[in-house]
A and B are shown apart, each in its own frame.
Chain A
Amino acid sequence: MDDFYRENILEHYRNPSFKGTLDLFTHSHEENNPVCGDQIRVDMFVNDEGVIEKVAFSGHGCAISQASASMLMEMIHGKKLAEAKQLDKQDILDALGIKIGPVRIKCALLALKVFKAGAYGLSGVELDEMEDEDDW
């Protein structure tokens, strides 16, 4: 169980990358986790070449949600938006490197959901209902 809060997770939690907000952005979206109320906002500035030039996340939440947000920011920063949109659940789980149950997975994937909802211009509910369709 000690493994759950691995050093890299705690490190991202204590010293998150890209924490804050952007004054100038092309995308900004916010969602919360209905189970615990954790809330995350992701701001992006996507330039004319479609590259995510600047990112920032804000909000509050548990170590898992904050660490995964920080990791996600590192993954998408400097990437083409079209490419970053392809990131999925497994990419986040791989970055975290721990086994996560069905409830905590919502914490782990909150930032990804916010990013994707913002990128696709959908609400979190719409995004939820689009996903999870294949896993049954």
Chain B
Amino acid sequence: MFDVEAIRKDFPILQQQTNGHSLVYLDSAASSQKPLAVIEALDSYYRSYNANVHRGIYDLSEKASEAYEQARKKVARFINAKSWREVIFTRNATESLNLIAYTWGLDNLKAGDTIITTEMEHHANLIPWQQLARRTGAKLAYVPVMPEGTLDMEAYDRLLDESVKLVAFTLMSNVLGTINPARKLIDKAHAVGAVVVIDGAQSVPHLPTDVQDLDGDFLAFSGHKMLAPTGIGVLWGRRSLLRDMSPFMTGGDMIKHVSYDGAQWNSLPWKFEAGTPAIAQAIGLGYAVDYLNNIGMANIRAHEKEMTAYALDKLSQVEGARLLGPLDPEIRGGAVTFTLGDIHPHDLASLLNQYNIAIRAGHHCAQPLHDKLGITASARASFYIYNKPQEVDCLVEALDKAREVFEQQV
């Protein structure tokens, strides 16, 4: 049973008031709030077993190592990985994607090859491929976004040929909310022998994820968007690819043997985890995964679908509002992006802030997509487990007030 009021009680930050207004937090697509269980996990680590991992021969370090590796196993089960060795801890999805570009990418791409990504990517799943193309001489091609906010699959078919070595796409757009047809994209890419990178930064926190079922080759996501602390992210990779890849960062903990002449790499996943990792944050991620599992990802998706449907309905009735992305909640997640007349989204966000409503305004790290849509910026309200329909009402009410303020000035 999904009980949003009970869930809200677990989030201390939602209890606060500013100028008599309760916090209406509608920016979880940027970063989620943290439940007490996660906050306490960090506190407990620092208070009672803070020590470096994989090194110390004393109880504290052993306890820290065990908790850190336990977190990895929780994450592996959460995404149904075949093995915990396929789960690499990084700083965030951005680092995970760069890791692929700088290791697999540089080792495998050359002039004449093609990289395909889409027009709806976050900069994190765009610039690494631009840089990779620049360094290797490979070509970068984009699957167009159609006016209704979905990918042009026919154009994708036309782009696919033997030169395509890598296909990178977001499973859920952080601007349009679109949930892309992952299996179709992946199967078609595999049919021409391309490796597939999935940006799961928006999808993993909100949708059930099964990497074996998806059958992609890499999946990148961030902890902080799924109730965990900042500074911890995940790269899942297919074992056969990870095994042959060069390390990304080098240094301590990622080696098996070192001499003045060279070094041998550690086994997976540690080959990719140089230096002291974000221990507390990883442990926190493990607790976040526990929390999400307790609610159930299918329940979370159902709740967010309801929220999204409600928001799309309410916002479409606001005079002057233009909604971006698909209008069908079945094929989209809870990031609802819009513009309101000619009010600049920054002004809108400032006005909403007066009512303690937090939304995102700007290009949401997807500038080329905004160029394509013919706008410089947009406003985005995004939902998570702790949001309730009344908060959409607050948003709509505040938008009406914003419109009044600006209309009076005209």
Given A34-B256, A129-B267 in contact, is the A103-B85 Cβ separation under 8 Å? no
8 intermolecular pairs with C-beta atoms under 8 Å apart: A34-B266, A103-B56, A103-B57, A124-B256, A125-B265, A125-B267, A133-B83, A136-B77
Q: What residues of B have a CB within 8 angstroms of the CB of A101 in the complex? A: 57, 59, 62
Contact, CB under 8 Å: B61 / A136 = no
| Distance in angstroms between the alpha carbons of A35 and B84 in the assembled complex | 20
Q: Is residue B255 within 8 Å, beta carbon to beta carbon, of the partner chain?
A: yes
Q: Is residue B65 within 8 Å, beta carbon to beta carbon, of the partner chain?
A: yes
Question: Would you give the shortest CB distance from B138 to chain A, in whole angstroms?
Answer: 30
Interface 1/0 per residue, B287-307 and A, CB below 8 Å: 000000000000000000000
Question: Could you tell me which residues of chain B, from 48 to 69, have a CB within 8 Å of some CB in chain A?
Answer: 54-57, 59, 61-62, 65-66
| Distance in angstroms between the alpha carbons of A52 and B66 in the assembled complex | 37
Q: Is residue A85 within 8 Å, beta carbon to beta carbon, of the partner chain?
A: no
Question: Could you tell me which residues of chain B, from 260 to 304, have a CB within 8 Å of some CB in chain A?
Answer: 264-268
8 Å CB contact of B85 from A34, A102, A104, A129: A129
Query: What residues of chain A have their CB less than 8 Å away from a CB belonging to chain B?
Result: 32, 34-35, 101-104, 124-125, 128-129, 133, 136
8 Å CB contact of A136 from B65, B73, B255: B73
Given contacts A103-B56, A129-B243, A129-B268, 4 further A-B contacts (CB under 8 A): A103-B54, A103-B62, A103-B65, A125-B265
Q: Is residue B257 within 8 Å, beta carbon to beta carbon, of the partner chain?
A: yes
Q: In the complex, how many residue pairs between chain A and chain B have their CB atoms under 8 Å apart? A: 41
8 Å CB contact of B54 from A35, A124, A128, A136: A35
Which residue of A has the minimal Cβ distance to B242?
A: A129
Q: Is residue B76 within 8 Å, beta carbon to beta carbon, of the partner chain?
A: yes
Q: What residues of A have a CB within 8 angstroms of the CB of B54 in the complex? A: 35, 103
Question: Would you give the shortest CB distance from A98 to chain B, in whole angstroms?
Answer: 14
| Distance in angstroms between the alpha carbons of A103 and B256 in the assembled complex | 15
| Distance in angstroms between the alpha carbons of A104 and B264 in the assembled complex | 21
8 Å CB contact of B256 from A32, A102, A104, A136: A32
Most interface-central of B59, B84, B239, B257 (chain A CB within 10 A): B257
| Distance in angstroms between the alpha carbons of A102 and B243 in the assembled complex | 24
| Distance in angstroms between the alpha carbons of A1 and B77 in the assembled complex | 36
Contact, CB under 8 Å: B57 / A102 = no
Most interface-central of A32, A34, A129 (chain B CB within 10 A): A34
Q: What residues of A have a CB within 8 angstroms of the CB of B239 in the complex? A: 129
Which residue of B has the minimal Cβ distance to A105?
A: B62
Question: Would you give the shortest CB distance from B240 to chain A, in whole angstroms?
Answer: 11
Interface 1/0 per residue, B188-205 and A, CB below 8 Å: 000000000000000000
Given A103-B61, A103-B65, A136-B76 in contact, is the A125-B55 Cβ separation under 8 Å? no
| Distance in angstroms between the alpha carbons of A125 and B55 in the assembled complex | 18
Contact, CB under 8 Å: B55 / A103 = yes
Which residue of B has the minimal Cβ distance to A124?
A: B256
8 Å CB contact of A102 from B62, B84, B267: B62
| Distance in angstroms between the alpha carbons of A133 and B84 in the assembled complex | 8
Question: Would you give the shortest CB distance from B396 to chain A, in whole angstroms?
Answer: 47
Q: What residues of A have a CB within 8 angstroms of the CB of B65 in the complex? A: 102-103
Question: Would you give the shortest CB distance from B272 to chain A, in whole angstroms?
Answer: 13
Contact, CB under 8 Å: B59 / A34 = no
| Distance in angstroms between the alpha carbons of A128 and B239 in the assembled complex | 13
